[in-house]
Amino acid sequence: MTRVFINGYGNIGRRLASAISKDKEIQLVGIAKYSPDEKTQEAIRNQFDIFVPKEKIKEFMGKQYRVNGTIEEAVAQCDLVIDAAKEGGGYLNKVKLYDPLNKPAIFQGGEDRHGKYSVADMIHNSRVNYEKAGSRTYVIQGSCNVSGMGRIIQPMIENFGDDIIRYDVTLIRRWADLEDSKQVKDSIEWDANPHHQDDVKDFIPTANLYVDAYKVPSRMMHLHQMSVRFKKKAPNKESIVETFRKEFGIAILSSATGTAQVRKKAMELGFPHGDTNMVHIHQEVVRVEEDTVKIPYSDDQTGMVIPENYLLLQSMVHKRGRQEALAKADNLFQMNYKKNVLEEEFK
């Protein structure tokens, strides 16, 4: 049994915990809580062991929350940590907790790949560099958008290679996740320095990619508008759509008219956490004009990275081949089932 500790129980951590706790090969050591709030009660209801900073034990106990030990104890007990700290929090955890025990760890996409606060020397994307992660102690799982872009760009490279000269992505991001309590501001905000471009180039260095990112007042997924420019006339729409037909974690939808419709359908269908765990190409609005293909796809921001973390774990800990790992992820997350259902619902 592989012992895994999830350090953080926010939007990503709680999803990772509920998925991973269902895998019979993995023993979930527990989850970390830093604030004694109602999410602690949720973790107790889910029967997860709860580890907190030593100095906060009294505070948790005072609120009648069960505590199973300190964060340090959980890190010592596990074979791998999945760090799900708030953006940028992984660096201190690495220095204080993982490095001293040489404990392998997966970090999330909000952490730095380069510079003073870098936590790892590679970003994982299961479509591109799954095998490479097998020999690493520390790896960053690309963010939802970075994972989505890799999932679209890699099949384009494999199918059309040198005929493509440039990718431009306009990334339209949600303001907050559905579970967040923060207010959604009535504004469209731009990002002077989006990290996605460099992050994707980390695992697809040949991609001539430019990303612009805008945050809009929505809580419902992200939308990417990817323009792919070819040297000459672009392939027809049918061959573009066919490129993605059999891809893991890509659904091809026709009749959906917006991101909320897809998210609400996932909730109505009872998908865990209301996640589809994938990207959805919106076939009706794919356009080909002369040398340019426009591929609009929505990206399930909260769900997208959960199977990706699981696949990364398969590479780092179990050293499984990619096909076998994909089959396991399909089994745990019912990816093909979800894809088929969504394609049928939005045909």
Query: Taking the complex as a whole, how short is the minimal distance between the CB of residue 319 and ligand NAP, in angstroms?
Result: 25
Query: Taking the complex as a whole, how short is the minimal distance between the CB of residue 241 and ligand NAP, in angstroms?
Result: 26
Question: What 8-state DSSP symbol labels residue 118?
Answer: B
Residue 97 and residue 71 in contact, taking contact as beta carbons nearer than 8 Å: yes
Q: Is the dihedral of CA 247, 253, 258, 259 positive or negative?
A: negative
The beta-strand segments (E) located in the chain are 2-7, 26-32, 50-52, 69-70, 80-83, 105-107, 123-124, 138-141, 164-174, 189-190, 209-216, 222-230, 250-253, 279-282, 287-289, 292-299
Listed ranges 2-10, 41-49, 72-80, 263-271: which one lies at the site for ligand NAP (CB under 6 A): 2-10
Question: What 8-state DSSP symbol labels residue 319?
Answer: -
For 4, phi then psi, to 5°, come to -120, 135
**Which residues, at least 6 apart from 324, have a Cβ–Cβ distance to it below 8 Å?**
314
Query: Taking the complex as a whole, how short is the minimal distance between the CB of residue 148 and ligand NAP, in angstroms?
Result: 10
34 binds ligand NAP (CB under 6 A): yes
Q: Which of 33, 113, 265, 273 binds ligand NAP (CB under 6 A)?
A: 33
The nearer residue to ligand NAP, 89 or 194, going by C-beta atoms, is: 89
274 binds ligand NAP (CB under 6 A): no
Residue 190 and residue 233 in contact, taking contact as beta carbons nearer than 8 Å: no
The nearer residue to ligand NAP, 89 or 296, going by C-beta atoms, is: 89
Nearest residue relative to ligand NAP (C-beta): 10
230 binds ligand NAP (CB under 6 A): no
Residue 347 and residue 283 in contact, taking contact as beta carbons nearer than 8 Å: no
Query: Taking the complex as a whole, how short is the minimal distance between the CB of residue 326 and ligand NAP, in angstroms?
Result: 20
276 binds ligand NAP (CB under 6 A): no
Q: Which of 10, 104, 235, 272 binds ligand NAP (CB under 6 A)?
A: 10
Listed ranges 105-113, 251-259, 266-274, 320-328: which one lies at the site for ligand NAP (CB under 6 A): 105-113
298 binds ligand NAP (CB under 6 A): no
Determine the Cα–Cα distance for residues 342 and 324; give it in Å rounded to an integer: 24
Q: Which residues of 7-41 are buried (b: 16+ CB within 10 A; e: fewer)?
A: bbbbbbbbbbbbbbbebeebbbbbbbbbebeebbe
Number of residues that bind ligand NAP (CB under 6 A): 28
Q: Phi-psi bin for 88: left (phi > 0), alpha (psi -120 to 50), beta?
A: left
Query: Taking the complex as a whole, how short is the minimal distance between the CB of residue 9 and ligand NAP, in angstroms?
Result: 5
Contact map string, positions 128 to 167, toward ligand NAP, x by CB under 6 A: ---------------xx-----------------------
Listed ranges 84-92, 197-205, 230-238, 282-290: which one lies at the site for ligand NAP (CB under 6 A): 84-92
Q: Which of 59, 73, 168, 177 binds ligand NAP (CB under 6 A)?
A: 177
Instruction: Point out which residues bind ligand NAP (CB under 6 A).
Output: 7-13, 32-35, 39, 84-87, 89, 93, 108-111, 143-144, 177, 301-302, 305
